[in-house]
Structure 1
Protein backbone atom coordinates (compact mmCIF):
# COMPACT_ATOMS: atom_id res chain seq x y z
CA UNK A 1 0.00 0.00 0.00
CA UNK A 2 1.48 3.39 -0.96
CA UNK A 3 2.34 5.76 1.87
CA UNK A 4 -0.35 8.33 2.58
CA UNK A 5 0.46 11.87 1.54
CA UNK A 6 0.95 14.23 4.54
CA UNK A 7 -1.44 17.17 4.66
CA UNK A 8 0.39 20.47 5.27
CA UNK A 9 -1.03 22.53 8.15
CA UNK A 10 -0.28 26.19 8.71
CA UNK A 11 2.35 26.93 11.35
CA UNK A 12 1.36 29.45 14.06
CA UNK A 13 4.74 31.24 14.04
CA UNK A 14 5.96 33.46 11.23
CA UNK A 15 9.02 32.25 9.31
CA UNK A 16 10.82 34.72 7.05
CA UNK A 17 13.09 33.94 4.11
CA UNK A 18 16.52 35.56 3.86
CA UNK A 19 15.97 38.66 1.68
CA UNK A 20 19.66 38.82 0.74
CA UNK A 21 19.40 35.67 -1.44
CA UNK A 22 18.09 36.46 -4.95
CA UNK A 23 15.24 34.35 -6.39
CA UNK A 24 16.32 31.40 -8.52
CA UNK A 25 15.07 27.99 -9.67
CA UNK A 26 16.02 26.18 -6.47
CA UNK A 27 14.49 26.40 -3.00
CA UNK A 28 16.33 25.22 0.12
CA UNK A 29 14.26 23.68 2.93
CA UNK A 30 15.50 23.05 6.47
CA UNK A 31 13.91 21.90 9.74
CA UNK A 32 12.52 18.79 8.08
CA UNK A 33 11.86 15.74 10.23
CA UNK A 34 15.09 13.71 9.92
CA UNK A 35 13.38 10.57 11.25
CA UNK A 36 11.52 10.15 7.95
CA UNK A 37 13.27 7.79 5.54
CA UNK A 38 15.04 9.64 2.74
CA UNK A 39 13.28 7.83 -0.11
CA UNK A 40 9.87 8.59 1.39
CA UNK A 41 10.89 12.20 2.08
CA UNK A 42 11.89 12.75 -1.57
CA UNK A 43 8.67 11.21 -2.87
CA UNK A 44 6.41 13.22 -0.59
CA UNK A 45 8.23 16.51 -1.14
CA UNK A 46 7.77 16.05 -4.87
CA UNK A 47 4.05 15.34 -4.36
CA UNK A 48 3.50 18.34 -2.08
CA UNK A 49 5.36 20.84 -4.29
CA UNK A 50 4.25 19.51 -7.72
CA UNK A 51 1.32 21.93 -7.90
CA UNK A 52 3.68 24.90 -8.26
CA UNK A 53 5.26 23.74 -11.50
CA UNK A 54 7.50 21.14 -13.12
CA UNK A 55 10.12 19.81 -10.70
CA UNK A 56 13.51 18.91 -12.19
CA UNK A 57 15.08 17.41 -9.08
CA UNK A 58 14.55 16.78 -5.36
CA UNK A 59 17.67 16.35 -3.24
CA UNK A 60 17.19 15.23 0.39
CA UNK A 61 20.44 15.28 2.35
CA UNK A 62 21.70 12.49 4.60
CA UNK A 63 25.10 13.55 5.95
CA UNK A 64 25.68 14.34 9.64
CA UNK A 65 25.71 18.10 8.97
CA UNK A 66 22.79 18.14 6.53
CA UNK A 67 20.11 15.90 7.99
CA UNK A 68 16.66 17.46 7.88
CA UNK A 69 17.44 19.56 4.80
CA UNK A 70 16.49 19.34 1.14
CA UNK A 71 16.67 21.19 -2.18
CA UNK A 72 13.86 21.31 -4.75
CA UNK A 73 14.76 22.44 -8.28
CA UNK A 74 11.94 23.89 -10.39
CA UNK A 75 11.93 24.42 -14.13
CA UNK A 76 11.16 28.13 -13.68
CA UNK A 77 12.06 30.81 -11.15
CA UNK A 78 8.39 31.81 -10.93
CA UNK A 79 7.45 28.34 -9.73
CA UNK A 80 10.15 28.46 -7.05
CA UNK A 81 8.95 31.90 -5.90
CA UNK A 82 5.35 30.71 -5.59
CA UNK A 83 6.43 27.58 -3.70
CA UNK A 84 8.48 29.58 -1.20
CA UNK A 85 5.71 32.11 -0.64
CA UNK A 86 2.90 29.58 -0.25
CA UNK A 87 4.69 26.83 1.71
CA UNK A 88 6.80 28.93 4.09
CA UNK A 89 6.15 27.77 7.67
CA UNK A 90 3.83 24.90 6.75
CA UNK A 91 3.89 21.77 8.89
CA UNK A 92 5.34 18.63 7.28
CA UNK A 93 5.66 15.46 9.35
CA UNK A 94 5.26 17.58 12.49
CA UNK A 95 7.96 20.13 11.60
CA UNK A 96 7.52 23.64 10.20
CA UNK A 97 9.29 24.14 6.86
CA UNK A 98 11.90 26.92 6.84
CA UNK A 99 12.39 27.84 3.18
CA UNK A 100 14.92 30.05 1.40
CA UNK A 101 16.20 30.27 -2.13
CA UNK A 102 19.42 28.26 -2.59
CA UNK A 103 22.65 30.24 -2.38
CA UNK A 104 24.26 28.30 -5.21
CA UNK A 105 23.01 27.18 -8.60
CA UNK A 106 21.90 23.54 -8.60
CA UNK A 107 23.91 20.98 -10.57
CA UNK A 108 21.04 20.17 -12.93
CA UNK A 109 20.66 23.86 -13.87
CA UNK A 110 24.39 24.52 -14.22
CA UNK A 111 24.80 21.45 -16.44
CA UNK A 112 22.02 22.72 -18.66
CA UNK A 113 23.51 26.22 -19.07
CA UNK A 114 27.14 25.06 -19.36
CA UNK A 115 28.44 26.51 -16.07
CA UNK A 116 28.74 23.23 -14.13
CA UNK A 117 31.80 22.72 -11.95
CA UNK A 118 32.31 19.51 -9.90
CA UNK A 119 31.81 20.02 -6.17
CA UNK A 120 34.32 18.74 -3.56
CA UNK A 121 33.49 15.22 -2.42
CA UNK A 122 32.50 14.43 1.15
CA UNK A 123 30.11 16.08 3.62
CA UNK A 124 30.00 19.87 3.59
CA UNK A 125 29.88 21.81 6.84
CA UNK A 126 27.24 24.54 7.05
CA UNK A 127 28.58 28.06 6.48
CA UNK A 128 27.64 29.24 10.00
CA UNK A 129 29.63 26.41 11.61
CA UNK A 130 32.71 27.12 9.46
CA UNK A 131 32.53 30.80 10.41
CA UNK A 132 32.17 29.89 14.08
CA UNK A 133 35.16 27.53 13.94
CA UNK A 134 37.29 30.23 12.28
CA UNK A 135 36.42 32.72 15.03
CA UNK A 136 37.17 30.04 17.64
CA UNK A 137 40.54 29.32 16.04
CA UNK A 138 41.52 33.00 16.19
CA UNK A 139 40.56 33.20 19.86
CA UNK A 140 42.50 30.04 20.73
CA UNK A 141 45.60 31.25 18.89
CA UNK A 142 45.57 34.51 20.85
CA UNK A 143 44.98 32.67 24.12
CA UNK A 144 47.93 30.43 23.34
CA UNK A 145 50.07 33.46 22.53
CA UNK A 146 49.13 35.08 25.85
CA UNK A 147 49.92 31.85 27.66
CA UNK A 148 53.32 31.35 26.01
CA UNK A 149 54.26 34.96 26.68
CA UNK A 150 53.89 34.30 30.40
CA UNK A 151 55.48 30.86 30.73
CA UNK A 152 58.92 32.24 31.63
CA UNK A 153 57.41 33.83 34.74
CA UNK A 154 55.57 30.66 35.74
CA UNK A 155 52.10 31.47 34.41
CA UNK A 156 51.05 27.82 34.41
CA UNK A 157 48.92 27.28 37.51
CA UNK A 158 45.12 27.66 37.58
CA UNK A 159 44.21 30.83 39.43
CA UNK A 160 47.54 32.51 38.68
CA UNK A 161 46.84 36.29 38.31
CA UNK A 162 48.78 36.51 35.05
CA UNK A 163 46.76 33.65 33.53
CA UNK A 164 43.49 35.18 34.69
CA UNK A 165 44.47 38.54 33.17
CA UNK A 166 45.31 36.84 29.89
CA UNK A 167 41.94 35.10 29.90
CA UNK A 168 40.13 38.35 30.68
CA UNK A 169 41.95 40.06 27.82
CA UNK A 170 41.03 37.24 25.44
CA UNK A 171 37.41 37.32 26.64
CA UNK A 172 37.21 41.02 25.79
CA UNK A 173 38.42 40.23 22.27
CA UNK A 174 35.87 37.42 21.99
CA UNK A 175 33.08 39.83 23.00
CA UNK A 176 34.23 42.20 20.26
CA UNK A 177 34.00 39.33 17.77
CA UNK A 178 30.52 38.43 19.00
CA UNK A 179 29.29 41.98 18.49
CA UNK A 180 30.56 41.94 14.91
CA UNK A 181 29.15 38.45 14.18
CA UNK A 182 26.10 38.16 11.85
CA UNK A 183 22.77 37.37 13.48
CA UNK A 184 22.15 33.68 14.06
CA UNK A 185 25.85 32.72 14.36
CA UNK A 186 27.01 32.00 17.89
CA UNK A 187 30.64 31.73 18.95
CA UNK A 188 31.69 28.70 20.92
CA UNK A 189 32.90 29.97 24.24
CA UNK A 190 31.98 30.65 27.85
CA UNK A 191 32.54 33.65 30.12
CA UNK A 192 36.02 33.81 31.62
CA UNK A 193 34.65 33.38 35.13
CA UNK A 194 33.42 29.93 34.05
CA UNK A 195 36.71 29.14 32.33
CA UNK A 196 38.72 29.87 35.46
CA UNK A 197 36.49 28.30 38.10
CA UNK A 198 35.90 25.14 36.04
CA UNK A 199 39.60 24.21 36.28
CA UNK A 200 40.19 21.76 39.08
CA UNK A 201 37.08 19.59 39.55
CA UNK A 202 37.61 18.21 36.04
CA UNK A 203 40.67 16.22 37.10
CA UNK A 204 44.38 16.69 36.53
CA UNK A 205 45.05 18.63 33.31
CA UNK A 206 46.46 16.51 30.49
CA UNK A 207 46.21 16.38 26.72
CA UNK A 208 43.34 13.84 26.56
CA UNK A 209 39.69 14.76 27.13
CA UNK A 210 36.98 12.34 28.26
CA UNK A 211 33.61 13.05 26.58
CA UNK A 212 30.35 11.66 28.02
CA UNK A 213 26.72 11.82 26.95
CA UNK A 214 27.19 11.25 23.22
CA UNK A 215 24.07 10.47 21.16
CA UNK A 216 23.09 6.87 20.53
CA UNK A 217 24.96 5.35 17.59
CA UNK A 218 27.47 8.17 17.28
CA UNK A 219 30.68 7.38 15.40
CA UNK A 220 34.20 8.74 15.06
CA UNK A 221 33.25 10.94 12.09
CA UNK A 222 30.58 12.78 14.09
CA UNK A 223 32.96 13.36 17.02
CA UNK A 224 35.68 14.52 14.63
CA UNK A 225 33.19 16.94 13.10
CA UNK A 226 32.65 18.61 16.50
CA UNK A 227 36.21 18.55 17.86
CA UNK A 228 38.25 18.57 14.64
CA UNK A 229 38.18 22.37 14.29
CA UNK A 230 39.78 22.94 17.71
CA UNK A 231 43.39 24.03 17.88
CA UNK A 232 45.78 21.13 18.49
CA UNK A 233 43.23 18.36 17.81
CA UNK A 234 44.93 15.05 17.00
CA UNK A 235 42.58 12.07 17.29
CA UNK A 236 39.24 10.86 18.67
CA UNK A 237 38.48 7.34 19.91
CA UNK A 238 34.82 6.43 20.43
CA UNK A 239 33.28 3.70 22.58
CA UNK A 240 29.82 3.71 21.03
CA UNK A 241 28.29 1.17 23.42
CA UNK A 242 29.03 3.46 26.40
CA UNK A 243 28.36 6.71 24.46
CA UNK A 244 31.77 8.09 25.45
CA UNK A 245 34.91 9.17 23.61
CA UNK A 246 38.53 10.06 24.28
CA UNK A 247 39.85 13.06 22.34
CA UNK A 248 43.61 13.68 22.09
CA UNK A 249 45.33 17.07 21.64
CA UNK A 250 48.94 18.04 21.12
CA UNK A 251 49.21 19.58 24.61
CA UNK A 252 47.17 20.07 27.78
CA UNK A 253 46.70 23.78 27.12
CA UNK A 254 44.79 23.22 23.86
CA UNK A 255 42.85 20.36 25.45
CA UNK A 256 41.80 22.63 28.32
CA UNK A 257 40.53 25.41 26.13
CA UNK A 258 38.65 22.99 23.90
CA UNK A 259 36.99 21.57 27.03
CA UNK A 260 35.85 25.04 28.10
CA UNK A 261 34.68 26.01 24.60
CA UNK A 262 32.65 22.84 23.94
CA UNK A 263 31.41 22.10 27.47
CA UNK A 264 27.66 21.55 27.23
CA UNK A 265 27.69 21.38 23.41
CA UNK A 266 24.57 19.74 21.96
CA UNK A 267 25.04 16.79 19.59
CA UNK A 268 21.79 15.49 18.17
CA UNK A 269 19.46 15.30 21.16
CA UNK A 270 22.25 14.95 23.74
CA UNK A 271 24.28 17.48 25.73
CA UNK A 272 27.87 16.34 26.11
CA UNK A 273 29.96 16.61 29.27
CA UNK A 274 33.75 16.96 29.01
CA UNK A 275 36.50 16.37 31.58
CA UNK A 276 40.18 15.50 31.59
CA UNK A 277 40.77 11.78 31.12
CA UNK A 278 42.11 9.93 34.14
CA UNK A 279 45.77 9.02 34.04
Structure 2
Protein backbone atom coordinates (compact mmCIF):
# COMPACT_ATOMS: atom_id res chain seq x y z
CA UNK A 1 0.00 0.00 0.00
CA UNK A 2 2.57 2.63 1.08
CA UNK A 3 4.74 2.98 -2.01
CA UNK A 4 1.80 3.48 -4.32
CA UNK A 5 -1.06 4.64 -2.10
CA UNK A 6 -1.04 5.71 1.54
CA UNK A 7 -4.68 6.73 1.79
CA UNK A 8 -5.69 3.81 3.97
CA UNK A 9 -3.51 4.71 6.94
CA UNK A 10 -4.74 8.30 7.05
CA UNK A 11 -8.19 6.95 7.95
CA UNK A 12 -6.89 4.54 10.57
CA UNK A 13 -8.98 3.85 13.64
CA UNK A 14 -7.43 5.45 16.76
CA UNK A 15 -4.64 3.32 18.21
CA UNK A 16 -6.43 2.73 21.49
CA UNK A 17 -9.21 1.01 19.57
CA UNK A 18 -7.33 -0.83 16.83
CA UNK A 19 -3.56 -1.30 16.94
CA UNK A 20 -2.15 -2.79 13.69
CA UNK A 21 -0.23 -6.04 14.12
CA UNK A 22 3.55 -6.30 13.74
CA UNK A 23 4.66 -5.23 10.30
CA UNK A 24 7.87 -4.58 8.40
CA UNK A 25 6.63 -1.04 7.75
CA UNK A 26 6.27 1.70 10.34
CA UNK A 27 3.74 4.53 10.17
CA UNK A 28 5.16 7.81 11.48
CA UNK A 29 3.08 10.83 12.48
CA UNK A 30 3.72 14.30 13.91
CA UNK A 31 6.63 15.10 11.61
CA UNK A 32 7.67 18.71 11.18
CA UNK A 33 5.74 19.98 8.13
CA UNK A 34 8.09 22.94 7.67
CA UNK A 35 11.00 20.69 6.67
CA UNK A 36 11.41 20.19 2.92
CA UNK A 37 10.38 16.71 1.81
CA UNK A 38 13.77 15.56 0.40
CA UNK A 39 15.53 16.65 3.60
CA UNK A 40 12.93 14.97 5.78
CA UNK A 41 13.17 11.67 3.87
CA UNK A 42 16.98 11.72 4.03
CA UNK A 43 16.85 12.37 7.77
CA UNK A 44 14.41 9.51 8.36
CA UNK A 45 16.52 7.11 6.30
CA UNK A 46 19.69 8.12 8.16
CA UNK A 47 18.00 7.73 11.53
CA UNK A 48 16.32 4.37 10.87
CA UNK A 49 19.19 2.80 8.91
CA UNK A 50 21.04 2.41 12.22
CA UNK A 51 18.63 -0.47 12.95
CA UNK A 52 18.94 -2.24 9.61
CA UNK A 53 18.63 -1.72 5.88
CA UNK A 54 15.79 0.64 5.01
CA UNK A 55 13.89 -0.62 1.97
CA UNK A 56 11.95 2.59 1.41
CA UNK A 57 10.91 5.90 2.95
CA UNK A 58 7.57 7.16 1.65
CA UNK A 59 6.26 10.67 2.34
CA UNK A 60 4.02 13.00 0.34
CA UNK A 61 3.51 16.75 0.26
CA UNK A 62 -0.26 16.74 -0.29
CA UNK A 63 -2.38 18.27 2.48
CA UNK A 64 -3.85 14.99 3.67
CA UNK A 65 -0.47 13.29 4.18
CA UNK A 66 1.66 16.14 5.48
CA UNK A 67 3.52 15.34 8.68
CA UNK A 68 3.34 11.58 7.99
CA UNK A 69 5.69 9.00 6.51
CA UNK A 70 6.21 5.26 6.09
CA UNK A 71 9.56 3.54 6.68
CA UNK A 72 10.02 -0.08 5.58
CA UNK A 73 12.56 -2.69 6.73
CA UNK A 74 13.45 -6.25 5.74
CA UNK A 75 11.77 -7.76 8.79
CA UNK A 76 9.15 -6.95 11.40
CA UNK A 77 11.73 -7.65 14.13
CA UNK A 78 13.89 -4.77 12.90
CA UNK A 79 10.83 -2.54 12.59
CA UNK A 80 9.74 -3.39 16.13
CA UNK A 81 13.13 -2.56 17.62
CA UNK A 82 13.24 0.73 15.70
CA UNK A 83 9.73 1.65 16.80
CA UNK A 84 10.43 0.90 20.46
CA UNK A 85 13.61 2.98 20.54
CA UNK A 86 12.68 5.87 18.24
CA UNK A 87 9.04 6.47 19.20
CA UNK A 88 8.87 9.91 20.79
CA UNK A 89 12.24 11.01 19.38
CA UNK A 90 12.13 14.78 18.65
CA UNK A 91 13.01 15.08 14.97
CA UNK A 92 13.29 18.74 14.00
CA UNK A 93 11.64 19.79 17.24
CA UNK A 94 8.59 17.48 17.08
CA UNK A 95 8.25 14.16 18.89
CA UNK A 96 7.48 11.39 16.39
CA UNK A 97 4.53 9.06 17.00
CA UNK A 98 5.22 5.63 15.54
CA UNK A 99 3.01 2.57 15.05
CA UNK A 100 2.96 -0.36 12.66
CA UNK A 101 1.47 0.37 9.25
CA UNK A 102 -1.85 -1.31 8.44
CA UNK A 103 -0.44 -3.21 5.47
CA UNK A 104 2.82 -4.04 3.72
CA UNK A 105 4.55 -1.52 1.48
CA UNK A 106 5.37 -2.29 -2.15
CA UNK A 107 9.06 -2.52 -1.27
CA UNK A 108 8.38 -5.11 1.43
CA UNK A 109 6.14 -7.20 -0.82
CA UNK A 110 8.84 -7.22 -3.50
CA UNK A 111 11.57 -8.09 -1.00
CA UNK A 112 9.65 -10.92 0.65
CA UNK A 113 8.71 -12.33 -2.74
CA UNK A 114 12.34 -13.26 -3.43
CA UNK A 115 12.88 -14.41 -7.03
CA UNK A 116 9.16 -13.94 -7.70
CA UNK A 117 9.18 -10.49 -6.12
CA UNK A 118 8.06 -8.66 -9.26
CA UNK A 119 5.13 -11.04 -9.76
CA UNK A 120 4.13 -10.68 -6.08
CA UNK A 121 4.30 -6.91 -6.40
CA UNK A 122 2.07 -6.83 -9.47
CA UNK A 123 -0.51 -8.99 -7.71
CA UNK A 124 -0.30 -6.75 -4.63
CA UNK A 125 -0.88 -3.62 -6.75
CA UNK A 126 -3.86 -5.22 -8.50
CA UNK A 127 -5.47 -6.05 -5.16
CA UNK A 128 -4.88 -2.50 -3.97
CA UNK A 129 -6.55 -1.04 -7.07
CA UNK A 130 -9.61 -3.19 -6.44
CA UNK A 131 -9.99 -1.76 -2.92
CA UNK A 132 -9.16 1.83 -3.85
CA UNK A 133 -12.68 2.99 -4.86
CA UNK A 134 -14.11 1.71 -1.56
CA UNK A 135 -11.34 3.33 0.47
CA UNK A 136 -11.78 6.66 -1.29
CA UNK A 137 -15.55 6.70 -0.75
CA UNK A 138 -14.90 6.33 2.97
CA UNK A 139 -12.31 9.08 3.02
CA UNK A 140 -13.88 11.97 4.95
CA UNK A 141 -11.03 14.35 4.21
CA UNK A 142 -11.33 13.71 0.48
CA UNK A 143 -15.07 14.38 0.64
CA UNK A 144 -14.45 17.69 2.40
CA UNK A 145 -11.93 18.65 -0.27
CA UNK A 146 -14.47 17.80 -2.99
CA UNK A 147 -17.03 20.02 -1.24
CA UNK A 148 -14.56 22.91 -1.29
CA UNK A 149 -13.96 22.39 -5.03
CA UNK A 150 -17.70 22.29 -5.77
CA UNK A 151 -18.29 25.46 -3.76
CA UNK A 152 -15.40 27.23 -5.48
CA UNK A 153 -16.76 26.23 -8.90
CA UNK A 154 -20.26 27.46 -8.02
CA UNK A 155 -19.11 30.96 -7.05
CA UNK A 156 -16.23 31.16 -9.53
CA UNK A 157 -13.29 31.63 -7.16
CA UNK A 158 -10.00 29.71 -6.67
CA UNK A 159 -10.23 26.60 -4.48
CA UNK A 160 -7.53 27.96 -2.13
CA UNK A 161 -9.79 30.88 -1.24
CA UNK A 162 -12.42 28.51 0.21
CA UNK A 163 -11.42 27.71 3.74
CA UNK A 164 -12.33 24.28 5.07
CA UNK A 165 -14.84 24.10 7.91
CA UNK A 166 -12.28 22.63 10.29
CA UNK A 167 -9.74 25.38 9.59
CA UNK A 168 -12.40 28.06 9.83
CA UNK A 169 -13.66 26.72 13.16
CA UNK A 170 -10.15 26.45 14.55
CA UNK A 171 -9.41 30.03 13.52
CA UNK A 172 -12.60 31.33 15.15
CA UNK A 173 -11.90 29.43 18.35
CA UNK A 174 -8.32 30.71 18.45
CA UNK A 175 -9.48 34.29 18.03
CA UNK A 176 -12.00 33.88 20.85
CA UNK A 177 -9.46 32.48 23.31
CA UNK A 178 -8.01 34.88 25.89
CA UNK A 179 -4.28 35.45 25.43
CA UNK A 180 -3.51 33.45 28.57
CA UNK A 181 -4.99 30.29 27.05
CA UNK A 182 -3.39 30.36 23.61
CA UNK A 183 -1.32 27.26 22.77
CA UNK A 184 2.50 27.48 23.03
CA UNK A 185 4.19 29.12 20.08
CA UNK A 186 7.73 30.05 19.14
CA UNK A 187 6.41 33.50 18.21
CA UNK A 188 5.61 35.79 21.16
CA UNK A 189 3.34 38.84 21.14
CA UNK A 190 4.37 41.77 23.35
CA UNK A 191 1.90 44.38 24.63
CA UNK A 192 2.00 47.40 26.96
CA UNK A 193 5.52 48.31 25.90
CA UNK A 194 6.53 51.80 27.15
CA UNK A 195 6.78 54.28 24.27
CA UNK A 196 10.41 55.03 25.14
CA UNK A 197 11.46 51.39 24.67
CA UNK A 198 13.77 50.74 21.72
CA UNK A 199 14.11 47.65 19.58
CA UNK A 200 17.67 47.29 20.88
CA UNK A 201 16.50 47.16 24.51
CA UNK A 202 13.95 44.47 23.65
CA UNK A 203 16.67 42.59 21.78
CA UNK A 204 18.85 42.78 24.89
CA UNK A 205 16.05 41.59 27.19
CA UNK A 206 14.88 38.64 25.08
CA UNK A 207 18.41 37.78 24.01
CA UNK A 208 18.96 36.51 27.54
CA UNK A 209 17.06 33.38 26.52
CA UNK A 210 18.39 30.81 24.03
CA UNK A 211 17.59 30.53 20.33
CA UNK A 212 16.32 34.06 19.74
CA UNK A 213 15.72 34.65 16.02
CA UNK A 214 14.59 38.27 15.90
CA UNK A 215 12.60 41.07 17.50
CA UNK A 216 10.08 42.69 15.18
CA UNK A 217 8.67 46.10 16.04
CA UNK A 218 5.59 47.52 14.31
CA UNK A 219 5.90 50.87 12.49
CA UNK A 220 3.53 53.35 14.08
CA UNK A 221 2.84 51.10 17.06
CA UNK A 222 5.50 51.47 19.74
CA UNK A 223 3.40 49.65 22.36
CA UNK A 224 3.47 46.22 20.70
CA UNK A 225 6.08 43.95 19.11
CA UNK A 226 6.78 40.35 18.14
CA UNK A 227 9.66 38.20 19.36
CA UNK A 228 10.51 34.99 17.52
CA UNK A 229 12.55 32.01 18.71
CA UNK A 230 13.76 29.07 16.65
CA UNK A 231 11.57 26.52 18.45
CA UNK A 232 8.55 26.30 20.74
CA UNK A 233 10.40 25.23 23.95
CA UNK A 234 12.58 28.34 23.70
CA UNK A 235 9.50 30.50 23.18
CA UNK A 236 7.84 28.93 26.23
CA UNK A 237 10.90 29.55 28.39
CA UNK A 238 11.17 33.20 27.33
CA UNK A 239 7.47 33.85 27.78
CA UNK A 240 7.38 32.39 31.29
CA UNK A 241 10.41 34.46 32.29
CA UNK A 242 9.35 37.81 30.82
CA UNK A 243 5.56 38.01 31.13
CA UNK A 244 4.96 40.84 33.58
CA UNK A 245 8.55 42.03 33.39
CA UNK A 246 8.92 45.53 34.86
CA UNK A 247 10.45 48.00 32.44
CA UNK A 248 12.64 50.90 33.71
CA UNK A 249 9.62 53.21 34.08
CA UNK A 250 7.84 50.59 36.20
CA UNK A 251 5.32 49.56 33.54
CA UNK A 252 4.98 45.81 33.12
CA UNK A 253 4.92 44.29 29.66
CA UNK A 254 2.46 41.59 28.72
CA UNK A 255 3.93 38.62 26.85
CA UNK A 256 1.62 36.04 25.28
CA UNK A 257 1.88 33.46 22.51
CA UNK A 258 1.04 34.83 19.08
CA UNK A 259 -2.24 33.69 17.56
CA UNK A 260 -1.99 31.22 14.69
Query: Normalized per residue, which structure has more helix?
Result: 2
Structure whose alpha-carbon radius of gyration is higher: 2
